[in-house]
Amino acid sequence: MAKILIAEDERDIRDLVTFTLKFAGFEVLAVTNGLEAVEATLKEMPDLIILDGRMPYMSGYEACEKIKADDRVKNIPVVFLSAKGQEAEIQAGMKAGAVEYLVKPFATDDLIKKIKDLVAKQGK
């Protein structure tokens, strides 16, 4: 079972994504900001990371850059899940090292399919 880390500061969205991914058979770890995401990544070594772009303490973009700069975890795929769908935001996420940028609101079926596809590419 693949381990997914989600960093989302809005509790309702964090709970929805956590429930959705657990229902799909994933092990899910949830944190509330970018700083916690970096710390949890190093401690838990997830198979995939989902980040919100705008969070307190450290943005998802900053967290992604820190993760991608660390040789121990740089190959873990990062997906942004953000309400900010402007081209500049999407480009910032991809430049930070994400493999995918999904815009809220999202269909849970689409999220599950995308995460399953990305995890399968990892061979997990």
Query: Could you tell me the pLDDT band of residue 7, with boundaries at 50, 70 and 90?
Result: very high
% of the chain with per-residue pLDDT over 90: 77
Nearest residue to 46 via CA among 14, 4, 77: 4
Domains and CATH numbers, the chain: 3-122 (3.40.50.2300)
The 10s digit of each residue's pLDDT in 63-89 is 999 999 999 999 999 999 987 777 888
What pLDDT does 105 receive? Answer: 84
Report which of residues 87 and 116 the model is more confident about: 116
CA distances from 74 to 15, 32, 47, 78 (A): 26, 21, 11, 9
% of the chain with per-residue pLDDT over 70: 99
Enter the tokens of residue 85: 């769908």
What pLDDT does 85 receive? Answer: 72
Q: What is the length of the chain?
A: 124
Q: CA 10, CA 27: separation in Å to the nearest integer?
A: 20
Note whether 60 and 93 are within 8 A (CB). Answer: yes
Q: CA 43, CA 25: separation in Å to the nearest integer?
A: 22
What pLDDT does 124 receive? Answer: 67
Q: CA 8, CA 33: separation in Å to the nearest integer?
A: 6
